[in-house]
Amino acid sequence: MTERIGEIIETSSFLFVGESFALNHPPALGSLLKVQTGPGEWTFGVVALGKTVAVDPGRQPVRRSKPDAYDETVYAKHPELEHLLRTVFTVVPVGCLDGGRMTQRLPAHPPPMHYSVYECDPGEVVLFSERLLYLRTLAAAQTDAPVEQVLAANLRWTHEARGRDEKWLHRAAMEVAALLQQDVERLLGVLYAVDPEA
C-alpha cells in the first residue's frame, strides 16, 4: 500500500477536498492521487490546488516571526500554530478502477467523507496515464486555480513519474493542443509551462 497522505473533508461529483496530515505540505500540484472506495475499487484524481488556512475561518492568521528569523523556527517557538492551521488540497476526479478495469471518466459516485487519500505508486501512474482521455476531464474542470496551469503541472509531474518519458510527453502535448485548439492563449500557457528545459 502506498503512503496515506490525507483524509477527505469535503466531497462532490466534480471535486473533493482532502486535509493533509503534514502542515504546509500538500501533495504536488498536478500529481495523481487515489481513494479506495470499496474492495478493489479506487477513484483517481489530479491535485488542482493546495493551501494552508486557519482552522477557524473567522480567525485570520497573523505573522509570528521577526523579519530576520528563519521560517522553520516559527513552528519550534510556537507549536500551537499546528493547532491553528491546516493544509488542504483540492482534487479533480478523473478516473476509476473497478473490477480490475481502469476507466478515465468521472466516477458514478463521489468518494465518501473521511476516506483516506493515498499517493499513487509509479506503476499506477504509468498504467493510468497510458490513455489520455483524463486530460479532457481535467481541461473542463471548474477549479479555483487556472485550469491550464493544473494541466501543465500534471504533464510535468507525470513526465517525471514516468521516468522522463519524452514520447509520452509529446503525445500528451498533442492531446492538449487538440483540446485547446480554439483557445490559443490558454494552449500557449500550457505548452510554455510544460517545457522540460525551462
Strand ranges in 64-187 using DSSP code E only, listed in sequence order: 85-98, 101-103, 116-119
- The number of folded domains in the chain is 1
The sign of the CA dihedral 14, 135, 149, 46 is positive
Q: Are 161 and 175 in contact (CB under 8 A)?
A: no
How much is the pTM? Answer: 0.88
Q: How far apart are CA 197 and CA 44, in angstroms?
A: 29
Cα 117–chain centre separation: 11
Q: Of 64 and 131, which is predicted with more confidence?
A: 131
Q: Of 66 and 139, which is predicted with more confidence?
A: 139
Q: Of 44 and 83, which is predicted with more confidence?
A: 44
Domain residue limits at 16: 4-194
pLDDT in tens, 105-121: 999 999 999 999 999 99
